[in-house]
Amino acid sequence: MSLECDVLIAGGGMTGTALALALARSPLRVTVVEARGAPENAGANDDDRSLTLSQSSRRLFDGAGIWPELAACGPALIREIHVTDAGRLSGTVHLDARDLGVDALGYVFENRRLAAALAGVLATDKRITLLSGARVSGYSDHGSHLMVRVTHGEDEHEIHCRLLVASDGTQSCVRELAHITAHTTDYRQTAFIAGFTPEFAAPGIAFERFTPSGPVAVLPRSNGRCGVVLALSAADAEQMKTVSPLAVRELAERRFGRRLGQFQEFGVPQSFPLRRILATAFTAPRVVLVGNAAHTLHPVAAQGLNLGLRDVAVLAELLEDCGADPGKPSLLETYERRRRRDVWLTSTFTHALVRIFSNPMPGLGALRGIGLALVDAAPPLKAMLALRSMGLSGRLPPLLQEHLT
């Protein structure tokens, strides 16, 4: 079967869905190829991560007209962020939404619920063609368009498109097909994630605590629960994989401290290795990378997903005025230029946090504590840190400039 569209999006996850919905109001014909099966099953087997959407990401979904559907998932609002270091001279940075005139610094969703909500919206939007249970298996460049081969069950389709968007994750098939290489930094850390109920509630507060073995993040969830992300060195992680969930809970409590008391009703921990993967280019002829296909970051400071959604906002802006050819070289060159700085700054920021705060070098702990204290005592620095964490620094595309409703 041969199909035609203007924009073919490989990957119907969060970035792919956000782009499709942002383009749905345009005259462009959009097709999404998603490897998962029926939309009603989306998220059923997903992990137990807590995903944080920044203020810029909320504005993106608000502009695409689907924030009410996502808000129905019951996200927990982050009204304060407490950043501390476990050293002897521990400093603290305290960010407060009230100081910035916003309702929240971020919105915490359970991964499976957010994934299911997005999949449901995508499946019911009649302006978008969705191929579920399908994968891009190859493509050929015909100058004015690409001929993309899509495997769908036992069938193979040919889809002619003018732009192919790689939104197919860290191990992107499209990135490989486009012969775009990527640089990998192995942090030699493993993240353990689980949900729990704190003994002492702290509604609306997110915590990031740095230890020599890696950061510990605790995020508020709805219904009084929290999510924890515990980053461990490779050696400690290997040991944790052979012990009971109780040992993981006790280690998380010990590394985090007693601020929330015991981590009760602790879920079954899941783990994944932590790496930074940066594509050497974000475009190829008639191909563009967004989200994890372009950059995968350490989860510290919850920047990865939100960085990918800023890719979407910029690409949607460029495609809105693309004329008859959404894959023309000038558009791709502009996208590459516009995204390079933000990706470099954000990836460098998270990389520096990991390297500096996970370094046991003598004397460095005292410097970290002093540094945090100095940032907390300087309102302009705190404001800059908060704006970057919310994705509202630098030049903002139209979708991120809209006022929140």
Instruction: Report pLDDT digits (tens) over 96-125.
Output: 999 888 999 999 998 888 988 988 888 888
- Report the alpha-carbon distance of residue 254 to residue 228 in Å, rounded: 13
pLDDT in tens, 24-67: 989 999 999 999 865 555 544 455 678 999 999 999 999 888 89
Q: What is the largest CA-CA distance in the chain?
A: 66
Asked if residues 165 and 13 have their Cβ atoms less than 8 Å apart, the reply is no
What's the total number of domains in the chain?
A: 1
Q: Is residue 58 part of a domain?
A: yes
Spell out the alpha helix ranges (H) of 125-180. 173-177
pLDDT in tens, 174-200: 999 999 999 999 998 899 999 999 999
Range of the domain at 352: 2-69+109-183+275-357+394-401
3-state secondary structure of 361: coil
Q: Is residue 233 part of a domain?
A: no
CB crowding 232-253: b at 16 or more within 10 Å, else e: bbeebbeebeeeeeeebbebbb
Q: Is residue 176 part of a domain?
A: yes
Residue 10's CB: how many other CB atoms inside 10 A? 29
- CATH of residue 307's domain is 3.50.50.60
- Report the alpha-carbon distance of residue 164 to residue 368 in Å, rounded: 44
Q: Is residue 141 part of a domain?
A: yes
The upper half-sphere exposure of residue 335, i.e. CA atoms within 13 Å in the direction of its Cβ, equals 33
Alpha-carbon distances of 13 from 4, 156, 158, rounded to whole Å: 22, 22, 22
Residue type, 262: Q
Q: Is residue 121 part of a domain?
A: yes
Judged against a pLDDT cut of 90, whether residue 315 lies above it is answered with yes
- Report the alpha-carbon distance of residue 260 to residue 32 in Å, rounded: 43
Q: Give residue 371's pLDDT band: very low, low, confident or very high (50, 70, 90).
A: low
Rounded to 5°, the CA angle 112-116-122 comes to 145
Token reading at 68: 């009410």
Pairing of strands 106-110, 182-198: unpaired
Q: Is residue 122 part of a domain?
A: yes
Better pLDDT: 228 or 3: 228
- End-to-end CA separation in angstroms for the chain: 44
What pLDDT is recorded for position 57?
A: 93
Asked if residues 383 and 100 have their Cβ atoms less than 8 Å apart, the reply is yes
Asked if residues 308 and 302 have their Cβ atoms less than 8 Å apart, the reply is no
Judged against a pLDDT cut of 60, whether residue 3 lies above it is answered with yes
Q: Is residue 120 part of a domain?
A: yes
Q: Which residues have C-beta within 8 Å of that of residue 259, sequence separation ≥ 6?
A: 200, 202, 207
Residue 285's CB: how many other CB atoms inside 10 A? 12
Q: Is residue 95 part of a domain?
A: no
